[in-house]
Amino acid sequence: MSSVWSEGVERPRFKALDGDASTDVLIIGGGIAGLLTAYMLTGAGVDCILVEAGQIAGGITENTTAKITLQHGLIYDRLIKARGVYNARLYLDAAQRALSFYGELCEKIDCDFERCDSYVFSLRDREKIEREIHALNKLGVTAEESGGGELPFEVAGAVRVKNQARFNPLKFLYAISHGLPIYENTKVLGLSPSGALTDRGKISSKKTVVATHFPFLNKHGAYFLKMHQHRSYVIALRGAEKISGMYVDECDTGLSFRPYRDLLLLGGGAHRTGKGGGGWGELLGVASRYYPRASVVGKWATQDCMTLDGVPYIGRYSPRTPSLFVATGFNKWGMTSSVAAAMLLTDLVRGKKNKYEELFSPSRSPLYPALAANIAASLTGLLTPGGPRCPHLGCKLKYNREEHSWDCPCHGSRFRETGELIDNPATDDKKEIGRG
């Protein structure tokens, strides 16, 4: 099943590239980050082209739960400890600017935008909640301690922040895409300092932005070591008790709750891509226990790029590629992080200073415990004998029985049983590999 966002929504169509083209800025990837970057660059009078291998907003963006909030788990206490109050305040400011951006623009767009309270809860650790409230208050945010409120189970505590938001991301993106220089069904085959070669022609550009979810160029940036991918699942329930707020567990493998019209969207079952996890089965068990009268009317899954320190990588792709830029690693919080990315990249490609540049720099120190885990996962995947192997860097693929796909436990590439590529960083299909 597809996500609820596409129901009853007319998808705009854009032609494929037909022959060679030239532009000042080439944007690769038509998800929310790429589309917002194209929107802001066009608004700033910058000549740009966006190319998408399939259809815009047809990948990870289509499968989000679409929460617009400054609460990205319990990040602010961690940020203050790891990078200081100044950087924590910058991160908060970027999220608040994103909230304001959506609030202003969505007044003109019919996209089911509505304000609501947001909660991050912990099942067992009240001290974590108290520390996060203290951190947010220190940064100037009115955060309150709360119980589980509308949740069907007890929690140790929750951080409540008022006046956050939610919307239908496809309605929003389809609206802002009108008039943008977009080419769909145009796959980039390779990059050079002068632009990109696609399956439809060559695009000459002065600068290039890679907004492909997981960066596909391995030669620079070492993103295959600085990130891993995390898979999570959603079911849409009709007939469940209504809630008004948005709720998410501070644990990466916990549950999330948000309403959409007459539905309850229940998320969870998460796991590292290519590893075992709860999947839809876990969510169906939760629904059976807490919402026995509800019926499942939709289900989908998504995938998130997780960075070493929980902060996205936005900026120059690497120190050796001054004309190449990237936006990735949104750590499950793509709605606000994509706006921050578009704002930062719009300045950087125009040679303007931006106060968020150092905070989000992809070249910042990788010395975090997660680096060792990523290296270990890569080595294990490479050294495990047998096949099939991922065409990205050669790791052994694992069969995902829940979704009938072959998934890479090293870097998160996924393939259908017939071999077609589903999720990058791999760029090529694999020969038919069948059932596991």
- Is there a domain that residue 126 lies in? yes
The pLDDT assigned to 258 comes to 97
| CATH value at residue 387 | 2.102.10.10
Rounded-to-integer distance, Cα 403 and Cα 319, Å:
38
What is the arithmetic mean of pLDDT over 207-230? 94
What is the arithmetic mean of pLDDT over 240-245? 96
DSSP 8-state assignment for residue 389: B
Residues 13 and 145 in one domain: no
What is the arithmetic mean of pLDDT over 84-104? 98
Residues 212 and 127 in one domain: no
Residues 210 and 238 in one domain: no
The pLDDT assigned to 61 comes to 94
- Is there a domain that residue 110 lies in? no
Residues 236 and 351 in one domain: no
- Is there a domain that residue 94 lies in? no
- Is there a domain that residue 432 lies in? no
The pLDDT assigned to 384 comes to 87
Q: Model confidence over 133-164: pLDDT tens digits?
A: 999 999 999 999 999 889 999 999 999 999 99
- Is there a domain that residue 99 lies in? no
Number of domains in the chain: 3
Beta bridge partners of 406: 399, 415
- Is there a domain that residue 391 lies in? yes
Residues 274 and 413 in one domain: no
Residues 296 and 322 in one domain: no
- Is there a domain that residue 272 lies in? yes
- Is there a domain that residue 260 lies in? yes
Residues 15 and 142 in one domain: no
User: Whole-model pTM?
Assistant: 0.96
Q: Which of 305, 323, 342 is the last residue of a domain?
A: 305
DSSP 8-state assignment for residue 396: B
Mean pLDDT, the chain, rounded, equals: 95
Share of residues in the chain with pLDDT > 70 (%): 99
Domain extent at residue 396:
369-423
Give yes or no for residue 290 having a pLDDT over 70: yes
Q: Model confidence over 329-387: pLDDT tens digits?
A: 999 999 999 999 999 999 999 999 999 999 999 999 999 999 999 999 888 888 888 88
The pLDDT assigned to 436 comes to 67
| CATH value at residue 217 | 3.50.50.60
What is the arithmetic mean of pLDDT over 193-217? 96
What is the arithmetic mean of pLDDT over 236-263? 96
What is the arithmetic mean of pLDDT over 18-47? 98
Closest by CA position to 329, among listed 310, 305, 309, 346: 305
Residues 216 and 286 in one domain: no
Share of residues in the chain with pLDDT > 90 (%): 87
The pLDDT assigned to 1 comes to 60
Residues 127 and 195 in one domain: no
